[in-house]
Each structure stands twice: as structure tokens, then as C-alpha cells.
């Protein structure tokens, strides 16, 4: 309960008039302030919820650079504008040149040399047959080329999403016991992943992805990298019976148990030898950017050389495990394999949502970083729609979840790609390989696939950024550490849950206890700043100026804010060295973008409490949604139209500012 406020006026019947023996505002100044108050109060109504939803869809799909071109456009022009909006390829394809294609051809072929071995390895990580990784590098990149806005983003399977699918789907259906049902469930998960991604973009719900903060992503990626690395021990050591769990303890126990049974060190020697080779080429490529192609083709060279070694020495007969048969041909249709009537539908939706968020987070982060380097803007909402449709189409053509790969995008960038056509070149190369060359992969050792995956993991661990997070925000670092240790010692899902829980806790904590700052005027200006940040700013005698540093004044923080304001007034009036008792409160609401019914009630109660103590309340700089709701709730009528101001400076002028007078009807 708030402390009762002292009465600052001598006559109780005259509580609505300020008695300040200072100069009156000139009629011109008062007219100017009144006119600006009308600007605030007479603003048009903001769009409602339905209008915002429909408007977001219209802006996302039917976006036009020249908004003045509306219904007056010819029907054909509208169709063209729609096609260019949904398929950005129509905008840049008309200016495409042969010289540009040469750059895209080189980068696409370089990309394919890295993509083919990685796709096979990531399919194994997802506990799928090798061909599904290759299929995922054909259809999704082609769809993305027509709908995506990034020029450098390389589309295909990635390590983290493959781990997610393996960890979560295998808990529903064991891939060893029933591989066919497992594959069907993966296709269904891919469909829902695409559906969620498309909806996020269509309704501009990209903020949902932001609930997984950058700090949480850093921790999650680092933990996932270690888990993926430990999973590769199965291939490096040729372990036949391995745990389906992903936590460190379970994996290490499975490894130690395998030593008691027969295992073949040839796999480990072969895998580690080519891992060292790949890492050396990567080191050389980083030292000399002109040799960017060397680390790009190293995985493919490793596959070719190791396959030749196994074939010539017949090492498969001496314990070296090989891929054996890889199904070739074009992507077969998988529409009939989507399980919408399955008893596991709920699990499919849940896993699809998780994969959608993780895949989008990685792709958008990678795409924006390279778009910034190139100096162009990548449309986040269109990226989500493109990702969604490519995964929906992928689920119908024997693909699993695809997204943007950081390692392959970096290779694509340094290879000199100019447009997304490099994805087309890569997809065609993979398709040719599927048609003609899959038989050559029969003797490829599994240990090589493990070494290729291991070589890509260091890029997922960002020590520098984790250190910066620790220095900047300890609560953010808690989310980072929680995600890291959750993935490492519990499960992938637990790591994500911890990260999201800490991020939500931070949001809720800031919402429940937002900062309320006292403002003062900077000398010689009409600028009002926080007195704690700017000690030179001096308070206005008799007026307490408060800024609510919260984007939303709602049921979670309305009552604490009300009590804080009333307590603040009481404390100010009880100071012994006070020059003039507080006779007016100005609430700077420039930071408050919205308000709910509980927030309005709190303002009404605050106004009543202040009036009972002879203190006037004024609202300065209310935002569009805020002033609209205050008018609808009749709060403006209760507090008085003359107590609403466009700026803090005008509110101070009306109270005790440069002319030192109070509002007439406040």
C-alpha cells in the first residue's frame, strides 16, 4: 500500500489550481502549446489487430517500392509486381550477365566439391541413408534461388539440424529397429518445419526466433559442436553398437564399452590422417585467401583418395567400414510418406517447431553477416518464407530439413559468387553425381565422413564472443552457459529449454521491474535527460519529471510503477533541504509503446492519489497506441486535455518552466 501523500495547498477546495507566484505564459506561448496538444489528441486512430495482421501479409507478399501505385495499376503490372515480390529472381535475372555467370559457375563447382561429402556425412549424423543428404542438396537450393534474397547463402543439410533430428526423432522411433518409419517421420518433421518457417515470415513473427538470444545460440552451438564431435567417435572407431543418447556421459560410456569388444584401429588411423590433412589445408587457406579453393576441395579429395586406398588394398575385408550402396537417380517423390494421420503427429509438430527456429536462426544470422559485408539488405521475412517453401517442397521430394550453412556460405563468398545461381550450379552438379557417380562411393570409408564433419566443427565454437558476453552482461552469459551445459550433459532439447527459460526470465524480470528515472534539464537547453547519467542536468523545483523506461505498461509492471511513483513523491517532499514541495508530476511516456487496461487503471489510481495530495499529473510524449487507448478509456477526460503534452519541455513550460506557470485546467 502506498504511503499517504502530504497536502501541499492551503485551501482544500482549491486543489485544481496551482498557486505559483511567477510570470504568466504569454498568449502566444499558450496558443502554441495548445495547438501542439491538439496534434497529440486529434491524431487518427491506429490500425487495429485485424488491420495489422492483414497489413503485414500484404506488405510481405504484395510489397511495392512505390506505395502510391495502388489500384490505379494495370492488372498485368500488379501480377508482375506480385511475382517479383514472391520470386526476387525476376528482379535481378533481367540484369544477369555472362561475366556474372562465370563467377557463379566457379563458386558453384567449388561449393559442390565441399557439399557432396558433407551432405553424405550429415545424413549419417541424422541417421538417414547417404542419398537423403544428397537429395537435400538438390531441391531446396533450387527453390531458394527463386525466392531467397541472399546472394551468398549456401543451402543444404547442416550439422546442428542433423543432430537435432537424430536426437529428437530417434526418441519417437528407433532408426535401427524401423528405419522406414523413422525416415517417414523425418519427412513429416521437415514439412512442419517448412510450414512454421513460412508462417513466421507471412505473419511477420520473426520476433519468435529472437526469443533464442544470441548468447543462447553461442552456448547452444558450442555444446552441439562438442556433442557432434563425440558422436563421430562411432565412425572413427567403427563402433557397431552405439548409444542413441547425445549427452557426454552416455557417449563416453558407450565408447569405453566398445574397447572391450572387437574394434579396428585402421578406421581411426585412416580418419585421423585425413582429418589432419583437411585441417592443414584450412590453415593454409586462412593464411592465403588466394588459396580459398584448397580447403574447399580438401574434403572431396579426401573422399576420392580414401576410397581409392580402400578399393586397392581391400581394407574393407580387414575391418574398415565402408558406405556400400548409395541409391542414385533423381529425388523420388515422398508425398505419400508424409504421416499426417500418424499417432506421432504431435511429436512431429513439436520437433518441427524446434527445427524451424534453430534453422532460421542459423540461416538468417549467416545471411545477414555476409549481406552486411557486400553492402545490401537481406529481407528477413522473405527469407523465412523462402526457407519455409523450400522445406515444404523438400519434404515432398525425399529431403530432410535444409538451411544455410556457415562453412559452405563462407566458401561460396570467397569463391567470388555474385548471385544465388551458385546454388543452382551446386544442385545440378550434385544431381549429375546422383545420376552417374554414386557407384563410385561404394568403398568410401565411414571414418572419412566422420573426419569431414569433425573438420567443420571448430567454426561452431566461438570463444571470443562467449568472453565478450561475460564482460557485457552476466545474465546473458548465464543463458549461454545454461545452453552449453544443458546440451552437453542432458540433451539437445534440455539445452534449448534452459536457454529459452533464462531468456524469458530476463524479459520477465525487466518487465516486472522496469527502470523509472528522474529527468532534469541540461543547462542552456530544452533537453531533459536522466540526472543519474548526466549529473549536470538539474531538476526543476516543484516538479518531478519521471521517465518510464518500459516498452509496455501492463499488468506485470503497472502496480509496481504506481507504487514507485507515489513513494518517490513522498520521499521528495520529506527531504529537509527541499526548496519547494512537489506540486506537479510529469510522466515522460516516450519509451512506452503500448498500454493495457491494467496500466490505464494504475494511471487513474496514481492521478487520484496525487490529486488528493494537491499534486497534478501531466503526460508528455505519449505514443500512438498509448494516447489512443487513453482516449478510449476516458482517461484524457479525467486528467484534463490540458495535461497532455507533445514534449517534456512544453509540459515544464506549462508548469513552472521558462514562464513559470501551471496549466489552467489541469
pLDDT, tens digit (0-9, with 9 covering 90-100), for 275-329:
999 999 999 988 887 888 899 999 999 999 999 999 999 999 888 999 988 999 9
Q: What is the mean pLDDT of residues 330-340?
A: 94
Query: Of all helices (H) and strands (E), which one includes residue 299?
Result: helix 293-313
Q: Residue 111: exposed, middle, or buried by beta-carbon count in 10 A (0-12, 13-18, 19+)?
A: buried
Q: What is the mean pLDDT of residues 533-555?
A: 88
How many angstroms separate the CA atoms of 118 and 105, rounded?
20
Instruction: Give the chain's largest Cα–Cα span.
Output: 107
φ/ψ of 140, rounded to 5, equals -55, -45
Q: What's the pLDDT score for residue 77?
A: 78
Q: What's the pLDDT score for residue 3?
A: 46
Q: What's the pLDDT score for residue 68?
A: 44
Q: What's the pLDDT score for residue 292?
A: 83
Q: What's the pLDDT score for residue 664?
A: 44
**Is the dihedral angle over the CA atoms 443, 448, 452, 453 positive or is it negative?**
positive
Which comes out higher in pLDDT, residue 572 or 530? 530
How many angstroms separate the CA atoms of 589 and 596, rounded?
14
Q: Are 503 and 216 within 8 A, CB to CB? A: yes
Four-point Cα dihedral 87, 93, 99, 103, nearest 10: 10
Residue 410: which pLDDT band, with cuts at 50, 70 and 90? confident
Residue 120: which pLDDT band, with cuts at 50, 70 and 90? very high
How many angstroms separate the CA atoms of 92 and 578, rounded?
68
How many angstroms separate the CA atoms of 251 and 255, rounded?
6
Q: What is the mean pLDDT of residues 39-51?
A: 78
How many angstroms separate the CA atoms of 246 and 252, rounded?
10
Long-range contacts of 135-138 (CB under 8 A, 24+ apart): 135/331, 135/397, 135/398, 135/399, 135/434, 136/394, 136/399, 136/400, 136/401, 136/402, 137/402, 137/426, 137/427, 137/430, 138/330, 138/331, 138/399, 138/427, 138/430, 138/431, 138/434
Four-point Cα dihedral 647, 653, 658, 661, nearest 10: 180
How many angstroms separate the CA atoms of 587 and 269, rounded?
71
How many angstroms separate the CA atoms of 597 and 554, rounded?
7
Of the CA atoms within 13 Å of residue 122, those in its CB half-sphere come to: 31
Which comes out higher in pLDDT, residue 504 or 636? 636
Secondary structure (H, E, C), 253-276:
HHHHHHCCCCCCHHHHHHHHHHHH
- If you write DSSP's letter for every residue of 324-341 in order, what string do you get? -----SSPPP-GGG--TT
Q: What's the pLDDT score for residue 576?
A: 64
> Quick one: which of 386, 358, 299 has its CA closest to 86?
386
Q: Residue 94: exposed, middle, or buried by beta-carbon count in 10 A (0-12, 13-18, 19+)?
A: exposed
Q: What's the pLDDT score for residue 636?
A: 92
Residue 25: which pLDDT band, with cuts at 50, 70 and 90? low
β-bridge partners, 545:
586
- If you write DSSP's letter for every residue of 466-513 in order, what string do you get? HHHHHHH-HHHHHHHHHHHHHHHHT-HHHHHHHHHHHHHHHHHHHHHS
> What's the chain's Rg over C-alpha atoms?
32
> What's the grid cell of residue 108?
558453384
Residue 67 pLDDT > 60: no
For 601-616, how does the pLDDT look when each residue is reduced to its tens digit (9 = 90+)? 999 999 999 999 889 9
> What's the grid cell of residue 563?
507504487
Q: What's the pLDDT score for residue 20?
A: 39
How many angstroms separate the CA atoms of 351 and 329, rounded?
29
258-272, 396-410, 569-583: which has the highest mean pLDDT? 396-410
For 508-517, how does the pLDDT look when each residue is reduced to its tens digit (9 = 90+)? 887 777 788 8
Q: What's the pLDDT score for residue 212?
A: 74
**Is the dihedral angle over the CA atoms 157, 160, 162, 164 positive or is it negative?**
negative
Residue 22: which pLDDT band, with cuts at 50, 70 and 90? very low
Choice among 23-32, 174-183, 454-463 with the minimum mean pLDDT: 23-32
CB neighbour burial string for 34-60, b if at least 16 within 10 angstroms, e if fewer: eeebeebeeeeeeeeeeeeeeebeeeb
Residue 381 CA, distance from chain mean position = 11
Choice among 165-169, 190-194, 555-559 with the minimum mean pLDDT: 555-559
For β-strands 403-405 and 154-156, DSSP reports them as antiparallel
Q: What's the pLDDT score for residue 10?
A: 37
Q: What is the mean pLDDT of residues 555-561?
A: 87
φ/ψ of 57, rounded to 5, equals -65, -45
Q: Residue 215: exposed, middle, or buried by beta-carbon count in 10 A (0-12, 13-18, 19+)?
A: buried
Residue 548 pLDDT > 80: yes
Q: Which residues contact 622 (CB under 8 A, 6 or more apart)?
A: 40, 589, 592, 630, 644
> What's the grid cell of residue 663?
496549466
How many angstroms separate the CA atoms of 377 and 371, rounded?
6
Query: Of all helices (H) and strands (E), which one includes residue 579?
Result: none
> Quick one: which of 429, 460, 451 has its CA closest to 361?
460
Q: What's the pLDDT score for residue 656?
A: 62
Query: Of all helices (H) and strands (E), which one includes residue 372?
Result: helix 345-374
Angle between helices 558-573 and 597-612 (to 10 degrees): 20
Q: What's the pLDDT score for residue 428?
A: 96
Count CB-CB contacts under 10 A for residue 396. 20
Residue 124 CA, distance from chain mean position = 28
Q: What's the pLDDT score for residue 56?
A: 64
**Angle ∠(654,655,661) on CA atoms, nearest 5:** 75
φ/ψ of 542, rounded to 5, equals 85, -5
Q: How far apart are the first and last CA of the chain?
A: 26
Q: What's the pLDDT score for residue 65?
A: 46
Q: What's the pLDDT score for residue 468?
A: 95
Residue 34: which pLDDT band, with cuts at 50, 70 and 90? confident
Q: What's the pLDDT score for residue 321?
A: 92
How many angstroms separate the CA atoms of 208 and 195, rounded?
15
How many angstroms separate the CA atoms of 281 and 262, rounded?
33
Q: What is the mean pLDDT of residues 590-599?
A: 92
Percent over 90 (pLDDT), the chain: 47
| For the chain, counts of helices (H) and of strands (E) | 27, 10
For β-strands 594-595 and 644-645, DSSP reports them as unpaired
Query: Of all helices (H) and strands (E), which one includes residue 309?
Result: helix 293-313
Q: What is the mean pLDDT of the chain?
A: 85
How many angstroms separate the CA atoms of 487 and 216, rounded?
11
| Alpha helix stretches (DSSP H) within 380-473 | 380-395, 406-414, 421-436, 446-456, 463-472
Residue 299: C-alpha distances to residues 94, 292, 293, 544 (Å): 36, 13, 11, 68
Which comes out higher in pLDDT, residue 514 or 216? 216
Amino acid at each position: 500500500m502506498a504511503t499517504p501523500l502530504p497536502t501541499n495547498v492551503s485551501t482544500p477546495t482549491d486543489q485544481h489550481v496551482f498557486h505559483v507566484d511567477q510570470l504568466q505564459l504569454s498568449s502566444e506561448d499558450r496558443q502554441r502549446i495548445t495547438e501542439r496538444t491538439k496534434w497529440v489528441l486529434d491524431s487518427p486512430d491506429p490500425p487495429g489487430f485485424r488491420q495489422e495482421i492483414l497489413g503485414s501479409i500484404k506488405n510481405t507478399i504484395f510489397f511495392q517500392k512505390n506505395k502510391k501505385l495502388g489500384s490505379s495499376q494495370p492488372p498485368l503490372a500488379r501480377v508482375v509486381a506480385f511475382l517479383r515480390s514472391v520470386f526476387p529472381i525476376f528482379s535481378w535475372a533481367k540484369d544477369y550477365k555472362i561475366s556474372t555467370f562465370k563467377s557463379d559457375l566457379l563458386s558453384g563447382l567449388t561449393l559442390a566439391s565441399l557439399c557432396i561429402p558433407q551432405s553424405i556425412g550429415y545424413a549419417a549424423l541424422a541417421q538417414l541413408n547417404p542419398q537423403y543428404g544428397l537429395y537435400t542438396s538438390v531441391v531446396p537450393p533450387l527453390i531458394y534461388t527463386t525466392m531467397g534474397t541472399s546472394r551468398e547463402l549456401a543451402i543444404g543439410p547442416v550439422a546442428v539440424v542433423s543432430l537435432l533430428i537424430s536426437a529428437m526423432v530417434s526418441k519417437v522411433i528407433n532408426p535401427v529397429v524401423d528405419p522406414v518409419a523413422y525416415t517417414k517421420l523425418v519427412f513429416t518433421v521437415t514439412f512442419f518445419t517448412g510450414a512454421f518457417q513460412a508462417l513466421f515470415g507471412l505473419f511477420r513473427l520473426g520476433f519468435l526466433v529472437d526469443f533464442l538470444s544470441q548468447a543462447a545460440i553461442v552456448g547452444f552451438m558450442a555444446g552441439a559442436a562438442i556433442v557432434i564431435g563425440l558422436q563421430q567417435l562411432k565412425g572413427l572407431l567403427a563402433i557397431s553398437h552405439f548409444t542413441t543418447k547425445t549427452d557426454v556421459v552416455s557417449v563416453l560410456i558407450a565408447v569405453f564399452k566398445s574397447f572391450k569388444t572387437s574394434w579396428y584401429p585402421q578406421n581411426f588411423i585412416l580418419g585421423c590422417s585425413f582429418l589432419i590433412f583437411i585441417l592443414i589445408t584450412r590453415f593454409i587457406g586462412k593464411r592465403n585467401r588466394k588459396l580459398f579453393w584448397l580447403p574447399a576441395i580438401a574434403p572431396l579429395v579426401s573422399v576420392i583418395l580414401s576410397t581409392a586406398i580402400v578399393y586397392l588394398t581391400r581394407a574393407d575385408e580387414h575391418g574398415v567400414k565402408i558406405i556400400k550402396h548409395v541409391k542414385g537417380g533423381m529425388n523420388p517423390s515422398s508425398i505419400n510418406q508424409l504421416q499426417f494421420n500418424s499417432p506421432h503427429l504431435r511429436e512431429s509438430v513439436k520437433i518441427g517447431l524446434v527445427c524451424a527456429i534453430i534453422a532460421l536462426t542459423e540461416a538468417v544470422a549467416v545471411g545477414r553477416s555476409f549481406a552486411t559485408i557486400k553492402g545490401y539488405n537481406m529481407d528477413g521475412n522473405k527469407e523465412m518464407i523462402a526457407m519455409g517453401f523450400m522445406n515444404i517442397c523438400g519434404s515432398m521430394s525425399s529431403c530432410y530439413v535444409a538451411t544455410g550453412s556457415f562453412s559452405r556460405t563462407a566458401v561460396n563468398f570467397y569463391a567470388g559468387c555474385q548471385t544465388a545461381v551458385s546454388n543452382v550450379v551446386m544442385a545440378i552438379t550434385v544431381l549429375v553425381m546422383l545420376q552417374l557417380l554414386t557407384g563410385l562411393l561404394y568403398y568410401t570409408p565411414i571414418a572419412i565422413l566422420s573426419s569431414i564433419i569433425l573438420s567443420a566443427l571448430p567454426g561452431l565454437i566461438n570463444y571470443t564472443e562467449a568472453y565478450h558476453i561475460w564482460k557485457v552482461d552476466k545474465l546473458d552469459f548465464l543463458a549461454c552457459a545454461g545452453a552449453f551445459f544443458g546440451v552437453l550433459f542432458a540433451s539437445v532439447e534440455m539445452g534449448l529449454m534452459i536457454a529459452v527459460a533464462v531468456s524469458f526470465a530476463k524479459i520477465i524480470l525487466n518487465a516486472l521491474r522496469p527502470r523509472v528515472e528522474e529527468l532534469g534539464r541540461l543547462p542552456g537547453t530544452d533537453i531533459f535527460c536522466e540526472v543519474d547519467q548526466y549529473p549536470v542536468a538539474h531538476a526543476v523545483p516543484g516538479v518531478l519529471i519521471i521517465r518510464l523506461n518500459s516498452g509496455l505498461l501492463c499488468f506485470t509492471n503497472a502496480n509496481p510503477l504506481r507504487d514507485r511513483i507515489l513513494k518517490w513523491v513522498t520521499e521528495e517532499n520529506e527531504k529537509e533541504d527541499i526548496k519547494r514541495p512537489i506540486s506537479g508530476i510529469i510522466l515522460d511516456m516516450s519509451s512506452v509503446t503500448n498500454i493495457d487496461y491494467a496500466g490505464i487503471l494504475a494511471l487513474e489510481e496514481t492521478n487520484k492519489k496525487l490529486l488528493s495530495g494537491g499534486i497534478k499529473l501531466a503526460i508528455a510524449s505519449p505514443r500512438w497506441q498509448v494516447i489512443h487507448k487513453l482516449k478510449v478509456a476516458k482517461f484524457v477526460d479525467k486528467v484534463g486535455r490540458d495535461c497532455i503534452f507533445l514534449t517534456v519541455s512544453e509540459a515544464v513550460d506549462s508548469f513552472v518552466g521558462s514562464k513559470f506557470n501551471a496549466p489552467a485546467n489541469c
